[in-house]
Amino acid sequence: MIAAELRFAIDDLFADYGACLDNDRLEDWLELFSEDCVYKIVPRENAELGLPVTLMLCENKNMLRDRIVSLRQANEYSVHTDKHLITNVRVKDTTDDGGYSVEANYTMYQADNEGSGSLYSFGTYIDEVVHDGDAVKFRRKIVIVDNWSIPHMLSTPI
Amino acid sequence: MIAAELRFAIDDLFADYGACLDNDRLEDWLELFSEDCVYKIVPRENAELGLPVTLMLCENKNMLRDRIVSLRQANEYSVHTDKHLITNVRVKDTTDDGGYSVEANYTMYQADNEGSGSLYSFGTYIDEVVHDGDAVKFRRKIVIVDNWSIPHMLSTPI
Amino acid sequence: MIAAELRFAIDDLFADYGACLDNDRLEDWLELFSEDCVYKIVPRENAELGLPVTLMLCENKNMLRDRIVSLRQANEYSVHTDKHLITNVRVKDTTDDGGYSVEANYTMYQADNEGSGSLYSFGTYIDEVVHDGDAVKFRRKIVIVDNWSIPHMLSTPI
């Protein structure tokens, strides 16, 4: 069983991840990833069939940085706020180079400017977490989306 | 990083909070607050714009106590049961007088007497937790409601 | 307050429980129960009125094993995938023989093969957890379903 401090640090990482997205702090969100990170959003069906199609794909932190710049420009008129609930965090294994395979389930809700809200997405995070200085960060985050048929799911992190 | 015992105590406080409301144990729920507590329910938009309008406002424990008495009288014919899911608990800071700034996300579902259920509310708790004897209690709980346009959201704690 | 190791072990047990069901690993799921286990799914209303009607009832591990065999045969054409979010875990008490009364809240979402998803069920687990060799397992799991009127809720674990 992994040490309590590490479990707490990983729990905090997920809580920060959700809070950054929910409060539109995308630049802070970026800092939760290591430099050599991979970020993907994949429909569950594609993940299970091994198909390469993704809803979002950033193969390193610079791509993720570019993405945030694009979102900042596109989001000028954004009308939704998000709310992440992240649960069932499970540290599954250590990786060869001192990281950890971690999974968690999520649901994400959205509300519009009229205060009307609903379920937006649910699925699983298939992640690798690594030590990075004093912190832990995501080196890999694959968002497996169970309800992948939502039409406007293309452009934003989950 | 705060001590494991405190993290567990705060987690338990939130779990108790949800269980008391979900099981209609409002008197026990009241005991999770300190004497000088503030309890507010605020639409997210108002919170962000700094508007003072609240959906529920109790500025001390006596007001909260009165509220429960009112609810007991009004709820005589209540037909809903609640279910809270509270996640992403994050202890953000210590306060000047030995308390803690704590945030968490919630979703709350309701079912009626026919067993039909749906999402009722989702949002964020912006709280202060303080030591109170051997326990930790809420000194401040501000419920920020993302989906604030639900018509019958006025009268009950979330 | 119970020891950190036990809290973590119980958290992990719930995370495994969800992951096994969500990934259709029913045989692994079975191993999360002790030999003398009881597994029930009960509508909330029946639980509160003390009515004996259940949506699923297995009074020992062999019944649960048989159930899984049936599900494997019936599920040949299953088109749904599940996602469990389990939160508000609370260890309430020790039992006379060294176990623990544990409760938790859950929501479960389902998606179909077209990637369309929605809330399926929400409620509370009323469990007993016991030490079993080096592991902790469920000796009793009673799933109290708040939204019990869903028509196709009869045949599968929650």
ipTM of the complex: 0.93
Residue ranges of A 68-87 with Cβ closer than 8 A to chain C: 85, 87
Indicate whether A115 pLDDT > 60.
yes
Residue B111: the pLDDT is 95
Q: Please state, in angstroms and rounded to a whole number, the distance separating the CA atoms of residues B120 and A118.
A: 9
CB distance A37 to A64 below 8 Å: yes
- The tokens of C88 are what? 């508000």
Does B43 fall in a domain? Answer: yes
Name the average pLDDT for chain B: 92
Does A155 fall in a domain? Answer: no
Does A153 fall in a domain? Answer: no
Indicate whether A20 pLDDT > 70.
yes
Residue A78: the pLDDT is 64
pLDDT digits (tens, 9 = 90+) for C17-53: 999 999 999 999 999 999 999 999 999 999 988 888 8
Does C85 fall in a domain? Answer: yes
Whole-prediction pTM: 0.95
Nearest residue in chain C measured CA to CA from B83: C123
Range from A5-14, B71-80, C43-52 carrying the lowest mean pLDDT: B71-80
Number of compact structural domains in chain B: 1
Distance from CA of C52 to the nearest CA of B (A): 17
Environment class of residue B93 by beta-carbon count within 10 Å: exposed (0-12), middle (13-18) or buried (19+)? exposed
Does B153 fall in a domain? Answer: no
Range from A64-68, B76-80, C91-95 carrying the lowest mean pLDDT: B76-80
Indicate whether B142 pLDDT > 70.
yes
Pick the residue of C80, C83, C89, C134 with the most A CBs within 10 A to test the interface with A by mutation. Answer: C83
Neighbours of chain A (3+ CB pairs under 8 A): B, C
Residues of the domain holding C132: 4-145
pLDDT digits (tens, 9 = 90+) for B50-59: 888 888 999 9
Q: How confident is the model at residue C127 (pLDDT cuts 50, 70, 90)?
A: very high
Neighbours of chain C (3+ CB pairs under 8 A): A, B
Q: Please state, in angstroms and rounded to a whole number, the distance separating the CA atoms of residues A99 and B30.
A: 44
Indicate whether B150 pLDDT > 80.
no
pLDDT digits (tens, 9 = 90+) for B7-60: 999 999 999 999 999 999 999 999 999 999 999 999 999 998 888 888 899 999
Mean pLDDT on A74-98? 86
Distance from CA of A33 to the nearest CA of B (A): 18
Residue C151: the pLDDT is 62
Backbone angles phi, psi at C118, to 5 degrees: -165, 170
Q: CA distances (Å), B140 to each of A153, A156, B13, B83, B134, in order?
A: 36, 33, 13, 22, 18
Per the DSSP assignment, residues forming a β-bridge with B97 are none
We report the CATH number of the domain holding residue B140 as: 3.10.450.50
Mean pLDDT on B78-90? 92
**Which amino acid makes up residue A123?**
G
Does C153 fall in a domain? Answer: no
Distance from CA of C122 to the nearest CA of B (A): 8
Does A95 fall in a domain? Answer: yes
Does C154 fall in a domain? Answer: no
Indicate whether A1 pLDDT > 60.
no
Q: How confident is the model at residue C79 (pLDDT cuts 50, 70, 90)?
A: confident
